[in-house]
Copies of this chain bind each other. A is one copy, B any other.
Amino acid sequence: MIFQKYLAKHDLRDTPQRELILDAFLTLEEHISAEQLYDIVKRQDPSIGQATVYRVLKLLMEAELAREIDFGDGVIRYEHKYNHPHHDHLVCRGCGKMLEVVDPVIEELQKRVAESHGFKLTDHEMYLYGLCEDCRRKKSAGPQ
């Protein structure tokens, strides 16, 4: 509905490819790359082109349905934005396990830090890296 409204508002057409990619994206819950989404969509319609997947992801961003995540590994991932409020990410350096976190006090302090330098904060990115319990156990057990 939101996407269709966005398309109408911008005089863009509601095509089967766009619908297919939108549905595939909404069905998933994880953070997904354009490549991974293309693989999924291709199974349902092998004639689809990957350029279209990239194009639709851009539209989903503009329609506020998707949000980019950049873990700095050279691949941009996407997650749901609708009904999925802002949060940050806690990532295990050992196994890659990822948790979504948010701390209201940190969020407030970020605003203040910006203001103290005359900035009006618009957004931010915060990635916390560490070792999860499992990985710490494995590490202290030592190799073998």
Question: Could you list which residues of chain A lie within 8 angstroms of chain B, going by C-beta atoms?
Answer: 70, 72, 90, 92-93, 99, 101, 103, 105-106, 109-110, 113-114, 117-133, 136
Could you write out 19 A-B pairs with CB less than 8 Å apart? A90-B113, A92-B119, A99-B117, A101-B113, A103-B109, A105-B105, A105-B109, A106-B109, A106-B113, A110-B126, A110-B128, A114-B128, A119-B131, A119-B132, A120-B131, A120-B136, A121-B130, A125-B126, A126-B127
Contact, CB under 8 Å: B130 / A127:
no
B residues in contact with A103, CB < 8 Å: 109, 113
Copies of this chain held together in the complex: 2
Closest B residue, CB atoms, query A92: B119
Contact of A93 among B93, B117, B122 (CB under 8 A): B122
B residues in contact with A92, CB < 8 Å: 119
B residues in contact with A131, CB < 8 Å: 119-120, 122
